[in-house]
Structure 1
């Protein structure tokens, strides 16, 4: 496989990313069964505004486009913050273009991102993955990520939270 190259996103690339990112996040929240589409769209808007008050210029946020040669194959977004045991990174978003999936590019993007993080003194990288995303979970486990928390739910009938019932509480 050709080598992955991470390049900082340009303003134009970031604008294109943001056009679809909030919608994609809202879709994942809805598919998880936690809330209706309308509530998930509002949540996505609030979350992005809170995390990125200055867009891609927000301190400690790093947005990369991943390339193989001239082909943009995916993207990854890290937040890096100081921590007691060393700097910590959080992957807020990670995508591989549809036509490049299942060909090793995701693994290569993650490894290139780890090198970036190491160069910044990062001691650990965390991420969140929705329970229904088995392919991503398998990749992360193969790459050495360990489970640190699990949320579980059992539906007992009655109103479906995705159909408009109150959203489930979130733990921080």
Structure 2
């Protein structure tokens, strides 16, 4: 693997991403036990519409496709917000193409994103991770992210 390059996501790439992302988000909410499937499907649709009313052209949100030597290896969605202490970024979604996972692309995409954020003057990057996704949690901790909130539940 050579260095990963982030390029702005095209409208066609966004449409392909969006076609699967909403369902994937709902599936993750169900898998985590956050809510049953009907509510998760509704929440996913509602969240995407609220956050991205203009799709890939929504102000404050940027999408990139990650490439390695011209091959598409993943994607990244960041939202940017100006706060009293400077520009903050939030990672709404980040993925590596399924057949390329566990080959270092996740780390490389995160490093490229961090570099890009530094160049833009971002002072902090946040993200959320579902509790069952221990692989992502481990990667984020290795990349220097720290836990800020833990939500817990107990089924009775």
- Normalising by structure 2, report the TM-score: 0.98
Instruction: Specify the alignment match of 2:77 in structure 1.
Output: 77
Instruction: Specify the alignment match of 2:106 in structure 1.
Output: 106
Instruction: Specify the alignment match of 1:125 in structure 2.
Output: 125
Q: Describe how 1:131-170 pairs up with structure 2 within 5 A.
A: 131-156=131-156
Instruction: Specify the alignment match of 1:165 in structure 2.
Output: none
Q: When the two structures are aligned, how many residues end up with a matched partner?
A: 156
Task: Report whether the alignment pairs 1:55 with 2:55.
Answer: yes
* Structure of greater relative contact order (alpha carbons < 8 Å, 6+ residues apart): 1
Residues 27-54 of structure 1 deviation map (CA, whole Å, 9 limit, x = unaligned):
0001111211111110000000000011
Instruction: Specify the alignment match of 1:160 in structure 2.
Output: none
Q: How far apart in 2 are the matches of 1:45 and 1:32?
A: 18
- Normalising by structure 1, report the TM-score: 0.89
Residues 42-80 of structure 1 deviation map (CA, whole Å, 9 limit, x = unaligned):
000000000001111111111000000121000000001
Q: How far apart in 2 are the matches of 1:18 and 1:49?
A: 11
Q: How far apart in 1 are the matches of 2:18 and 2:105?
A: 22
Residues 112-153 of structure 1 deviation map (CA, whole Å, 9 limit, x = unaligned):
011111111100000000000000000000000000000011
C-alpha root-mean-square deviation of aligned residues, in Å? 0.7
Which aligned runs of 4 or more in structure 1 are off by greater than 2 angstroms?
A: none
Q: How far apart in 2 are the matches of 1:95 and 1:34?
A: 21
Give 1 or 2: higher strand fraction.
2
